Chain A
Amino acid sequence: MCGIAGIMYKRGSADIGTTMTAMLDSLKHRGPDSTGFALYKPAANGSRDHFTLWLKWDPPADDQYGRREYAAAQRSAIVDQVASMGGRVVASDQPLDYVLKLDVDYNGELKTLEDRLESLPGIEIVSLGRSMELIKDVGLAVEVSEHYHLAGFQGTHAIGHTRMATESAVDISHAHPFWAYPFADIAVVHNGQITNYHKSRHLLEREGHRFRSHCDSELIAVYIADKLSAGLSLEEALHQSQKDLDGVYTYFVCTENEIGMAKDELAAKPLVVMEDDNVVALASEEVAIRQVFKNEIKSWDPYDSEVMVWSR
């Protein structure tokens, strides 16, 4: 059991950091292990060459370094690697000593940059996007939100997840959302189980895709990325996933300007949708939507095998 939530403002932007924190906090009974947010803001100056990255590393294996020294060393290794690839680090932020946020100007091949960064020992890219910032960590929504200073994050749309781990480890790598390597700005949150995980993962690995966890939800992110790269629209990819992925699931895919959702053919995992002229809100339980809309709303449960896509 996990909790998922999403919100999209059809025009303008809002404090989605605070909104998503409230929505996910109300779903914490569905999963207290870890919390994650994929927050989308308008791309800086409309630039296609400006990216925000979030990277993480495991704490040092021995006591040779203190955590702070280790973090500084990792930071400079990452910055050097970006520079060696012809990128320029515009800004950086290190809210905790095992993560790094970088704003980078880069106009080369994205996958090459990603692979070179992840070739550094222990480094994992958690998020890469022109407008996306994917933040996830162990703990409750209010804790993660506070540690990463999410209050006041002005954005256009977002998805998030509270996790009750059932089949894989509790750490940042296994927390949701999952970024869809190697594509910028694509994130997935999922509530359910994919039962043909090993077979599907094997097929995608043979295509050259990289997996950084043993969480079945990462499979959805990689799967969708694979389909989008083959030229399918998000809606087509979601429909195709219902044929290819077995199990029970409700999941959301977020891109630079879309939120999509897909539900399995048994309708076994919950979802409530509310939509009006200005906003779309979706969540595992209506109590999350109530955090944003106190007044009476019109909401409904999508049926089995439904796919919906909203764009702005």
Chain B
Amino acid sequence: MVQVAPKPTETAVVIDAADLDTRHINMAVRKAIAEGHKAITILNPGSKHSICPAIFDDVDITIDGSVGYFGVTMGDGVRARITGRAGWSLAEGMMSGEIVVEKNSGSSTGASLRGGTLVVKGSAGGRTGIQQKGGTIVVGGDSGFLTGFMMQRGRMIICGNVGRAAGDSMYDGEIFVGGEIASLGVDTLLVQPTEKELYEIRAELARYGLPSDRPWKKIAAGKALYNYDSLEPAERKMML
């Protein structure tokens, strides 16, 4: 199991958020980063919204409790561990880094994820990984309606069941499901994962202490409705 938060050192700082609003919590976090602290612990987050958005620094943040909507969004390099649960749009737009949630999360978990790894050890709400464009989303429990809706790239590993219309209108990317699929979305294919993929799933789950012995299935894009190429602008330039 990966230890996200390092042991307290002289570069560690603790912020008690009990009497702070979102704005002042985030100002305190930015101040701590500017002062060179590498490990930040936030106590009593009280499920407040928009905690720790847009952190582009190489820091470890431990949030001791639960966050509300838009927890740790748009991060680039930040590593965060949330010991409670998260509300809607957790880690939306993350570019790189690692976010681990010990309990459940709300809808639109990892929306528009571009990179990095997002782990929810409990269950996620509906529309997990909507518009995912890269990175990896791991859900230890179930995921709801429209999981992977309009997914474009990246990987999703759902250990439990997924709700209706899984992978609906996905352009590309891959959704691995360890439990039942209530129904597949339009233009998806249900395929058997390869040995290499199964090896990677086992390795990924082992990192977070999640069991991987499940009858894995893979949802892939059917590409029947597919009118786009999957190249990033920089890649297209290289091809030409």
Contact = CB atoms under 8 A, between A and B. Distances in A.
Interface of A: 265-267, 270, 272, 285-287, 289-290, 294, 296-301, 303-304
Interface string B55-73: 0000000000110110000
Contact of B66 (A270, A296, A303, A304): A296
Given A270-B107, A300-B104, A303-B125, A285 B145 contact: no
24 contacts: A267-B125, A267-B127, A267-B146, A272-B87, A285-B68, A285-B69, A286-B66, A286-B68, A287-B46, A287-B49, A287-B68, A290-B46, A290-B66, A299-B66, A299-B85, A300-B104, A301-B107, A301-B125, A301-B126, A303-B126, A303-B163, A304-B126, A304-B163, A304-B164
B41 interface: no
B84 interface: yes
Interface of B: 46-49, 65-66, 68-69, 83-85, 87-88, 103-104, 106-107, 122-123, 125-127, 144-146, 163-164
Given A286-B87, A298-B103, A266 B47 contact: no
Contacts of B47: 285-287, 289-290
Contacts of A289: 47
A304 B85 CA distance: 20
Contacts, number: 65
8 smallest CB-CB distances across A and B, nearest first, come from A301-B125, A286-B47, A267-B126, A304-B145, A303-B144, A287-B47, A290-B47, A300-B104
A127 B106 CA distance: 34
Nearest to B47: A286
Given A267-B144, A272-B87, A300 B123 contact: yes
A288 to B, nearest CB: 9
Contacts of B46: 287, 290, 294
Given A286-B87, A287-B49, A296-B65, A272 B106 contact: yes
Given A266-B145, A301-B144, A303-B126, 20 more contacts: A267-B127, A267-B145, A270-B106, A272-B87, A272-B106, A285-B49, A285-B69, A286-B47, A286-B68, A286-B85, A287-B46, A289-B47, A296-B65, A296-B66, A299-B66, A301-B104, A303-B145, A304-B126, A304-B163, A304-B164
Contacts of B106: 270, 272, 301
B87 A304 contact: no
A287 B127 CA distance: 21
Contacts of A265: 145
Contacts of B103: 298-299
B107 A267 contact: yes
B65 A270 contact: no
Nearest to B124: A301
A27 B104 CA distance: 21
B18 to A, nearest CB: 9
> Which of B47, B85, B125, B127 has the most chain A CB atoms closer than 10 A to its own CB?
B47
B139 to A, nearest CB: 13
A267 B163 CA distance: 11
Nearest to B127: A267
A20 B164 CA distance: 35
